[in-house]
Structure 1
Amino acid sequence: MDAVFSGSQKIYQTIKNYEQAVNEYSAHPDDESAINRYEKAEARMNEDDAWNVQSDVKTILTQLKINDYDKKVGELSGGQKRRVALAQVLVESPDLLLLDEPTNHLDFDSIDWLEKYLSGYKGAIMLVTHDRYFLDQVATKIFELSFGKLYEYTGNYQDYVEQKATRVQTEMDAEHKAQQLYKSELAWMKAGAKARSTKQQARINRFNELKENVGNLQVDEDVTVSLGQSRLGKEVINIKDANLTIDNKPILKDFSILIQGNERIGISGENGAGKTSLLNAIAGDIPLDSGIIKIGETVKLAYYRQITEPIDEDKRVISYLSDIGQQVTNNNGEKISVAELLEEFLFPKFMHGTLIRKLSGGEKRRLYLLKLLMEQPNVLLLDEPSNDLDISTLTVLENYVNHFQGTVITVSHDRYFLDKVADRLLIFEGDGKVSEHRGQFSEYLASLAQTRVADKKRIKTKRNDNAPQESAKPKAKN
């Protein structure tokens, strides 16, 4: 709570003092000093009209699943710290709100609330995000930084995709015309053009200018990474009667599931409910309390974890991958060199010799993912892959999964990504309960929203039915 109310505005100090006074009074209700402090804090809340602000703050904290106000920040997980930081900036209601990947480490309920909150926000918002559905709901203008240039688009993500396609096509048409003109002018120059007149010299100057600019167009290419993998049997993972408790918190209760070849399973649900723990159990990192996890004999597993494995920062990009091999085989049996694979995974040639310590965090995560894929697994575990990958890389990964001949299990809250890579869902509801659903994640969320609306109507109707009815007034006698 101290961290959330660390802003400089006077009203936050008023609320903070009131919260402390309430806690002290609750602990020592007969202490005169505690009573006096509480009364003064309550009077100041009235004086500063801070009750609505306090209510708004509690709403923000509740929606971001921050419930233990007395817990120290140092005792929180990385995801919890990010949510406290998000709450800290939201409660201040600034004129300009800068958000860097705000949906990371939020579950789908919190993301849904944040979308609605920001859609009605009175100030200006500038955010960096990979969450494409989030952009659709919140953004009214998009800036794209591409190949050293900044492009501006009006509208949300869908509008951006359409407008970008039009821009790229226009630029490619112009580039084609410029190349045709260049060929024509080159033929004229080779014919022995001489600057005998001002007109000819101007044409030569235009040719030299054209020569410098033609062929420099850079556009994002459609990339498909299709790597071969070993044969996968029908039974991939069989979990029977699994029970798991971590730190006295139930993760799995008598959980059973049969996962077969070429399945696409998405895992989502509440934060801290045990989604990553299930992947860790499948990978053999943690044992079950009871039950069985049987891994098929033909399974070759790769696990993309939330925390990247230790990487030698002084290695060069291409050397890091060369430890796996100099080349790999694609689905067609063709050999692909490490250099070619790097380019397919959005590492242009000039970056191949770059030291890893010079890469951004996202580029390191992309390199780590590529190393795992080079091992050519037939079962892929992905833990929150969209948290640190840009949209271009996510698109490459989505295409890879679509062409992948093995089984993919993905933990994610990214609705767009899950819609692309999963059609069988495991929803962690907390306290060891896991429900299964078929279809896309967005369909599940829509169904969940309808169920909640129906439940609210049913509860309201029940309350009205149980409310005491006013007795009929007796008729007045003549």
Structure 2
Amino acid sequence: MAHLLGAENLHLEFPTRVIFDSITIGVNEGDRIGIVGRNGDGKSTLLSLLSGRLEPDAGRVTVRGGVTIGMLDQTDVLDQEMLVSQAIVGDLEEYVWASNPIIRDVIDGLIQDIPWDAVIGSLSGGQRRRVGLAALLVGDWDCIFLDEPTNHLDVEGITWLANHLNNRWGKNAGGLLVVTHDRWFLDEVCNTTWEVHDQIIEPFEGGYAAYILQRVERDRMAAASESKRQNLMRKELAWLRRGAPARTAKPKFRIEAANQLIENEPPVRDKIQLSQMASQRLGKDVVDILDVSVSYGEKQVLKDIEWRIAPGERTGILGINGAGKSTLLGLVTGDVQPTTGIVKRGKTIKVATLSQELAELVEHANDRVSDVVARKRTSYVSGGKEMTPSQLLERLGFTSAQLQTPVKDLSGGQRRRLQLLLILLDEPNVLVLDEPSNDLDTDMLAAMEDLLDSWPGTLLVVSHDRYLMERVTDQQYAILDGKLRHLPGGVDQYLKLRKASDAADTGPSASASASSTTPAAAPVPANQLSGAERRNAEKELASTERKMAKATEAIKATHDRLAAHDQGDYEGISIMMQEITALEATVASLEERWLELSELLS
């Protein structure tokens, strides 16, 4: 593979500390490199050094002659007076850019909902971010640097970006360096991982899953002081091998080594114990949303919603921006009142929301972290162990020195972690997480997920971070056309449904009425099913959905019986566990058939 660029003996220091010391690295054609590490350790600085935007104090960066590099910054660098069309295609005539498949793909994937003739300054921050990403990707680059490209992208946008980058170059062509906390994206796109830590860059073969395996092996051989970190990463590896079938179907690391490392590792969550604890704390009733519709003026956001939330339920909510996710969560918290229908809440529920605004910290801005935490509680039980607030802070990555830091001086990630801790110390039994992964690096996300694993209450999550969604929730729902739909097939099923919906919206009638100022989507090929075949498939699909719903309800009912059953009756417990196993096998078989039929009908 041809060499694209490299760095030799790089040294960089800021007034307060050394960032890199004697770093030597290289990027070859075909490299797809994910850069991970703690916030502040130099990931973005590394991209600036390699792109030539920042000069090292010592050493040098060399780029092969003729190699072109494109870079996406974290900051907004677009001219605020420019039109969207100018930012993306410049002065190119329409027939020129419209005939370019890469440009059309980028426009369809990133800015379909943004007016083509809008002024950049009139757009939201998320829209400007997407325009900036589109402007980069339409270019012809040998090497692309992306700094947090998934910020402001939803699940569909992140999936599109991964597919685009995977198909942009041939297998042994082009180079990609990406800094992101989105672990699903790292696993999907990257074949190499660089960990930035302690003034060095440590390379690992493969994506995020492979990196975790190698890191566990490294930590296992390290000193005993690394034991806490090792155990946390081992738990993360256990979930990667057990939790996501899509990952285990195409492993990027040695299965035997992974199995050996996790053979004595217990399941990530003891669902039976957590269900029992949740029932004791919550009672039988949490929140029942019954035949609810919500309208704002003449616009109906939610219609005919029925959702009975169970004790200990761990549910992820998916949907495009504006679909009604916040409205649905508002029904749960009581901040939104239904236009029609009723919302019933259990007498013992105590709801808390981890919001995006960090409002919980405003009143504590001038207080030291240790003082803020000391006012809450003197102890907290996590995973059956009693912990002091200081121990919890340490678990979430705070050092002893940071305990004396005023809240206003904390970084974004530190404030996010403190916000979560304050909420948990209030001991709610229903926790709503609204984009909880913002400002957190991969290590801190793993620490937060580990803390949530032992939390026994009801958990509701809205997030564009697919990895986090699959990691901390046991089931997913989507808001589609104002209605709430269960997703037995998880995020993959949601993406299929959204793709089918977009295809229907861009059919002949939709294309005819589309605005001439907005680029049109590519036409969708006609389905090859006959009328009778389609009707039969639709009937079977509906029947399969009913069977899945019935089996899922039976699993929930059996879990409830199990939680209330005499825990000393081992024979009775064994029988119920066998029932659950058989029902789960039935659901898995039905889900597989459902996906086959959905693909056939789409």
TM-score for the superposition, normalised by structure 2: 0.57
Q: Does 1:121 align with 2:173?
A: no
Query: Contact 1:3/1:88 (CA < 8 Å) preserved in 2?
Result: no
Q: Does 1:459 align with 2:459?
A: no
Cα pair distance change 1:247/1:121, threshold 3 Å: farther
- Residue equivalent to 1:33: none
Structure 2 CA distance for partners of 1:332 and 1:461, relative to 1, 3 Å? closer
| One of 126, 133, 139 as aligned partner of 1:86 | 133
Sort the Cα spacing of 1:88 and 1:13 in 2 relative to 1 into closer, same or farther, 3 A.
Answer: same
Alignment of 1:63-462 (within 5 A): 63-67=109-113, 68-122=115-169, 123-170=174-221, 172=222, 175=223, 220-222=229-231, 231-246=281-296, 248-309=298-359, 310-311=361-362, 312-330=364-382, 332=384, 334=386, 336-429=387-480, 431-438=481-488, 440-442=490-492, 444=493, 459-460=527-528
- Would the alpha carbon gap of residues 360 and 158 (structure 1) be closer, same or farther in structure 2, given more than 3 Å must change? same
How many residue pairs get aligned? The number is 384
1:61 aligns with 2:111: no
Note if contact 2:355-2:433 (Cα within 8 Å) is conserved in structure 1.
Answer: yes
- Judging changes above 3 Å, is the alpha-carbon distance between structure 1 residues 58 and 433 closer, same or farther for their aligned structure 2 residues? farther
Q: Deviations over 1:157-191 (max 9, x none)?
A: 12211221222223x2xx47xxxxxxxxxxxxxxx
Once the two structures are overlaid, the 10-residue window that deviates more, 258-267 or 89-98, is 89-98
Instruction: Give the structure 2 partner of residue 12 of structure 1.
Output: 90
Amino acid at match of 1:88: A
State the Cα distance separating 1:96 from its structure 2 match.
3.6
Say if 1:424 and 1:438, in contact at 8 Å, map to a contact too.
Answer: yes
> Residue by residue, what CA displacement relative to the aligned partner does 1:58-111 show, whole Å, maximum 9, x if unpaired?
432322253222344455444333323322322234444332332233233222
Shift in alpha-carbon separation, 1:87–1:323, aligned structure 2, 3 A? farther
SS in 2 for 1:372: helix
Q: Which moved more, 1:74-83 or 1:131-140?
A: 74-83
SS of 1:222's partner is helix
User: 1:147, CA displacement in angstroms?
Assistant: 4.5
- Partner residue in 2 for 1:41: none
Q: Give the Å deviation of 1:247.
A: 7.0
CA contact (8 A) 1:82 1:105 kept: yes
CA distance in 1, matches of 2:121, 2:499: 39
1-side partners of 2:479 and 2:528: how far apart?
28
Distance 1:356 1:255, change over 3 A: same
Alpha-carbon distance, 1:446 to partner = 8.1
Amino acid corresponding to residue 13 of structure 1 in structure 2: D
Secondary structure at the aligned position of 2:293 is classed as: strand
Partner Cα distance (2:227, 2:309) in 1: 43
Shift in Å at residue 248 of structure 1?
5.0
Task: Note if contact 1:265-1:410 (Cα within 8 Å) is conserved in structure 2.
Answer: yes
For 2:500 and 2:327, locate their aligned partners in 1 and report how far apart those are by CA, in whole Å. 28
Quick check: 1:4–1:87 contact (8 Å CA) kept in 2?
no
1:297 and 1:331, CA in 2 relative to 1: closer, same or farther beyond 3 A? Answer: farther
Q: Given residue 12 of structure 1, which amino acid in structure 2 is its aligned partner?
A: G
Change (3 A) 1:331 1:168: closer
Change (3 A) 1:233 1:438: farther
Relative to structure 1, the CA distance from residue 330 to residue 110 in structure 2 (aligned partners, 3 Å threshold; closer, same or farther) is: closer
In structure 2, what residue type is equivalent to 1:298? T
**How far off is 1:285 after superposition?**
2.4
Distance between the aligned counterparts of 1:118 and 1:147, measured in 2? Answer: 30
Shift of 1:255: 0.8
Deviations 1:326-381 (A, max 9, x none): 433446473x3221111111212222112333332122112111111111111111
Residues 1:73 and 1:290: Cα distance change in structure 2 (over 3 Å)? farther
Alpha-carbon separation, structure 2, partners of 1:410 and 1:234: 21
Provide Cα deviations, 1:266-295, integer angstroms capped at 9, x if missing partner: 111222211122112322223322222222
Question: 3-state DSSP class of the match of 1:294?
Answer: strand
Instruction: Kindly report the root-mean-square deviation, in angstroms, between the aligned alpha carbons of the 2 structures.
Output: 3.5
Distance 1:144 1:219 in 2: 19
Render the CA deviation track for 1:355-410: whole Å, top value 9, x for unaligned: 33333212211211111111111111111212332222222232233322211111
Check 1:140–1:432 CA distance in 2 against 1; reply closer, same or farther (3 A cut): same
Contact 1:66 1:84 in 2 (8 A): no
Q: Which residue in the other structure is 2:549 paired with? A: none
Distance 1:219 1:246 in 2: 50
The answer on whether the counterparts of 1:306 and 1:385 sit within 8 Å (CA) in structure 2 is: yes
> SS of 2:322's equivalent?
coil
Amino acid at match of 1:61: I
Distance in structure 1 (CA, Å) of the matches to 2:332 and 2:499: 34
Alignment CA distance shift 1:413-1:462 (3 Å): farther
What's the offset of the Cα at 1:3? Answer: 4.8
Q: Deviations over 1:246-278 (max 9, x none)?
A: 475432101111111011111112222111221
Query: Which amino acid counterpart does residue 167 of structure 2 have in structure 1?
Result: G
Query: Does the Cα contact within 8 Å between 2:84 and 2:119 map onto a contact in 1?
Result: no
Change (3 A) 1:292 1:83: farther
Q: Which amino acid aligns with 2:313?
A: E
For 2:297 and 2:153, locate their aligned partners in 1 and report how far apart those are by CA, in whole Å: 22
Contact 1:4-1:88 within 8 A present in 2 as well = no
User: What CA distance in whole angstroms lies between the structure 1 residues aligned with 2:352 and 2:327?
Assistant: 16
Give distance in 2, aligned partners of 1:307 and 1:293.
Answer: 26
- 5+ residue gaps, structure 2, are 1-80, 236-267, 505-523, 534-602
Q: Using the alignment, how far apart are the partners of 2:297 and 2:198 within structure 1? A: 48
More moved, 218-227 vs 381-390: 218-227
Contact 1:4 1:85 in 2 (8 A): no
